[in-house]
Amino acid sequence: MGAVTPIGHDLDQFWNGLMEGRNGVEMITSFDVSEYSTQFAAQVRDFDFSPFVDKKEERRTARFILLAVAAAAQAVAHSGLDVHAEADMVGVEIGSGIGGIEILEETANVLMTRGPSKVGPFTVPMMICDMASGMVSIKTGARGPNSCSVTACSSGANSMGNAFHTIQRGEAVAMITGGAEAAVTPLGLASFCAARSLSQRNDDPKHASRPFDLNRDGFVMGEGAGILVFEDLEHALARNATIYGEIVGFGASGDAYHITAPAPEGEGATRAMKMALKEAGIEPNKIDYINAHGTSTHLNDKNETAAIKHIFRDHAYKVAISSTKSMTGHLLGAAGAIEAVAAIKAIMHSKVPPTINYETQDPDCDLNYTPGKAIDKDLTYVMSNSFGFGGHNAVLIFKKYQ
């Protein structure tokens, strides 16, 4: 696994940040936000890309791609997988919801001020969402199935689910998979401000991301990448790989309801959870921890809570739940990926990450959200939820490897 996040630039830093309840939200300084209704985000600050790309390549490459390349390099090194030895059977699937939005902004400005002849040749390849997968393939030499899911905030989760099924079908022995996003830009921020999706706690940004709390007022934008190496079990055992966990279930559904609002009572999310449990072959009461989508918006948290109650019944009040977005912000298309990393690390260390900034109970959100501090808990099965604009729902289930 590899992680480049607002609370840590590698796997260990990220996990330690979660355990400490580290807060990655700060005022934006990379551009002038004085006229924005929201002026803060959770950004990856002071990251050195030089071990992964040279300066020329860095200058002409979209930030989300750079983040994916860095996290993928970490993950492949961590796995010990010799990609070149079986390149045709190692694939890549990395999701991104928005892609190279800063390239679009910069190029649109060049077009309007200097004319079409000044538009750069790298505009399209650096802007499109699939280029994270493409570049990771080029950098690692992986020549197997190569794709990208673009399903808003479910992009990373959908990509991992697709990678899982690609291996199940025998089309690859390993997949480099996850998500990457870097949309904290003038246009990205302005668009979410206009949609009234973001918290406006400019006087107190550290307490802005507060999933399930009564006084939540919107999500906090984040950026980063999470990449994992999924591998066929027999193949992993044959090379004596260290196995950190198993992926055993994936469910995906569509709300068919609204472009931004979730279906009432989390109906679509309920179906995705049900599908994942069915593929995993377990009853709901076997789930020990849920890494919730938990965005800190009024509708999402309320409806995700309702969906959990529909599926888990009495167990809903016993299962540990947390939203790590309280610390990292919402990484949009990369959220499901870094949350999958968090879920697997939770299994490995028998620890449930906390939901920070949870202070006042909402009557509609009355479950155990692990407020404030991490807790010790033996975990066998963990569920990770991701839901996105357009009514996309994706749910993954991970299991302790035994």
For the annotated catalytic residues, the residue numbers are 153, 293, 330
Distance CA 291, CA 185 (A): 27
Asked whether the beta carbons of 180 and 66 are under 8 A apart, the reply is: no
Give the up-direction half-sphere exposure of residue 346: CA atoms within 13 A in the CB hemisphere.
33
Give residue 265's region: left, alpha or beta (phi > 0; psi -120 to 50). left
181's enclosing H/E stretch is: strand 174-181
- Among candidate residues 292, 324, 330, 328, the one with its CA nearest the CA of residue 308: 292
- Secondary structure of residue 386 in the 3-state scheme: strand
- Among candidate residues 283, 269, 344, 339, the one with its CA nearest the CA of residue 315: 283
CA-derived radius of gyration, the chain: 20
Distance CA 13, CA 8 (A): 4
Asked whether the beta carbons of 323 and 372 are under 8 A apart, the reply is: no
- Secondary structure of residue 255 in the 3-state scheme: coil
Give ∠ CA 325-388-214 in degrees, rounded to 5. 45
Asked whether the beta carbons of 175 and 90 are under 8 A apart, the reply is: yes
Distance CA 361, CA 217 (A): 14
Distances (CA, A) of 372 to 21, 315, 348, 369: 7, 22, 21, 9
The whole-angstrom distance between residue 156's C-alpha and the CA centroid of its chain comes to 5
- Among candidate residues 396, 393, 348, the one with its CA nearest the CA of residue 163: 396
The whole-angstrom distance between residue 134's C-alpha and the CA centroid of its chain comes to 19
- 360: how many CB neighbours lie within 10 A of its CB? 10
Asked whether the beta carbons of 142 and 83 are under 8 A apart, the reply is: yes
Diameter over CA atoms, the chain: 64
